Amino acid sequence: MRRLWIAIAGLGGFLSVGAGALAAHFFEGDPRRASLLHTAAYYGLIHAASLTAVVALAERREVRRVALAAAGWGFSAGLILFTGSLFALALTRIRAFAFVTPFGGAALLFGWAALAFAAFDRVRPGPQ
């Protein structure tokens, strides 16, 4: 699970940097497409870093793994669906991709809520 999240974070970060460069250099004459790419790059970089942090937190034993797993899957799904749909919309102009974006946004919100829950959901030490 963690290896997959690291791969998603790495690829998401890579594509986000590329999208920012495309927006700045290739689509500078098309403000709508440049804006979509800028937004995707911004959210992609933030959530690639956030997903990496979730992986690091999951290594700690005092934090519940269930809440962090939910955060990791939320960030992963959101990174793919939200930023991916904006990338696809900007690059192809196929409006159907816009219908996927809200699901990605909801997944990102779910990831943040799960991460917040992880702060309060501690593993209780049992009898040893």
CA–CA distances in Å: residue 15 to residues 7, 31, 48, 60, 103: 12, 20, 10, 29, 20
Size (the chain), residues: 128
If DSSP codes are grouped into helix, strand and coil, which group holds residue 28?
coil
Please give the biggest Cα pair distance in the chain: 66
Report yes or no on whether pTM surpasses 0.75. yes
DSSP codes of every residue in 9-40: HHHHHHHHHHHHHIIIIISTT-HHHHHHHHHH
pLDDT digit string (tens) for the chain, length 128 residues: 789 999 999 999 999 999 999 999 999 899 999 999 999 999 999 999 999 999 998 887 666 678 899 999 999 999 999 999 999 999 999 999 999 999 999 999 999 999 999 888 665 554 54
